[in-house]
Amino acid sequence: MYKFKNVIKRSGAKVPFNPERIANVIYRAAVSVGGRDKEKAHELAQKVIELMNASFEEGYTPHVEEIQDIVEKVLIENGHAKVAKEFILYRDKAAQRRREDSRHFSKPNELIPWKKVWRSLDWAAAHNLNTVEGINARIKNGEFPQIVHEAESLYENQLDTAAELIKERSAELKMVMVSGPSSSGKTTTTLKLEQRLNKMGMKFVPLVVDNYFFDLEMHPKDEFGDYDFETPQALDLELINDHLKRLAAGEKVLIPYYDFKTGTRHPDSTPLQLQDNEVLLIDSLHGLYPEFSKVIPASQKFKLYLEPLLQMKMSDGQYIRWTDLRLIRRMLRDSVHRAYNPEQTLLHWHYVRSSEKRTILPYSNTADYIVNTSMAYEVPIYRPKLLESFKQWVVKYKNDPLREDAYTRAERVARMLEAIEPVTDESSIPGDSVLREFIGGSILEYH
């Protein structure tokens, strides 16, 4: 038992105290340094609660920072210095992100590929697609099919450039990594890139990184019982590096198989060996993460980064957020292919966003080439699909302190969708468009 019922969040909101969250926080820090002992995490969490009981008076409402201070103390005093260090670093980085957010980008943000952004903005301005007012006027003028053509041409031209850059290095390459945050269009882009490179005489062998997930029971969870598949530590990075090194050397390896229905990994399932004229093609969230391929020399890998870098300003002066585009894309895709309803995707997005800020976006500028996968016409087709749902979520989560993130995102996306001119006729969207990966109707065969 414990003396307190509630906790004060950094926002000042008072929420029910959940002891399971302490165990999850400790376990996540342990996973980051290679530990996967959930029993020990719960044991240490109990020590944290005992120290909280001893430190706080009956009826006291502790602040989350006070609890985290005690977590640090317990980890250090119980001989878990590595885990404590990881936890302290995580807190420091989170605090730094909050400070930067509060400064309203008063200094350059290292997570943003600025050169690509400026090129994208220049293109949008040249086509009168850099503002909501501009695209609305063009849609009302019957120009939607022309907007589709312009946006698709920009995307295809980028893939042509990427293919040429890869071909230039084909003599030394052992692997091509297509990386980017969730719903950035990796699957379609990988397929279309492979088509181009095959025509150039290059042969590819896909490596399905999902097969390297640890068993589900070893994944970290949050206070809602939500498993975190977004962190690179959900993958067996040591085994991945071992296999990549051996494959690059021409050796045969046995690839595991991950069964998503049971949440278990089966070892040594599929033999794989690269021939002299073959290159590994890897589609992964974490292809740029340093630990993902640390044993492979930079000369042997080409790193491609994808992000929907839409440059479109709202009437209030704010630009449409790329993360909101990806949230909508994932809602549409998950509802069809993963039996996940859109609301579940909204509630899970805090995990997606938190992980990518730590382990994906900081490495975007290490890519050999960046592809802007946004389509200037995508928001108009999203409005009739999801506007009413977002309005309902705004009402549902407005006063729920545990769902502040869901409310903030829902309110922002609802405003965005309301401002755009809706389009229901999708016939002008090509069957091999990157958006077909999310809205359906693709003529590509996804593996």
Q: Are strands 278-283 and 301-307 parallel, antiparallel or unpaired?
A: unpaired
Select from 96, 83, 69, 67 the least CA-distant residue to 223: 67
Please give the Cα distance from 114 to 349 (Å, whole number). 25
Q: What share of the chain is helix, strand, coil (3-state, %, to 5)?
A: 55, 15, 35
Measured over all CA atoms, what is the biggest interatomic distance in the chain, rounded to whole angstroms?
73
Please give the model's pTM, rounded to 2 decimal places: 0.82
Mean pLDDT by groups of 10 residues along the chain of 447 residues: 79 81 82 80 86 85 86 85 77 67 53 88 97 98 98 97 95 96 96 95 94 87 67 92 97 95 91 93 95 96 97 96 97 82 92 87 93 98 98 96 94 98 98 96 86
3-state secondary structure of 7: strand
Tell me the backbone φ, ψ of residue 110, rounded to 5 degrees: -70, -15
Which conformational region is residue 263 in: left (phi greater than 0), alpha (psi within -120 to 50 degrees), or beta? left
Instruction: Report the C-alpha gap between 301 and 366 in whole angstroms.
Output: 12
**CA angle, 309 then 364 then 135, to 5°:** 0
Domains of the chain: 6-102 (no CATH), 114-439 (3.40.50.300)
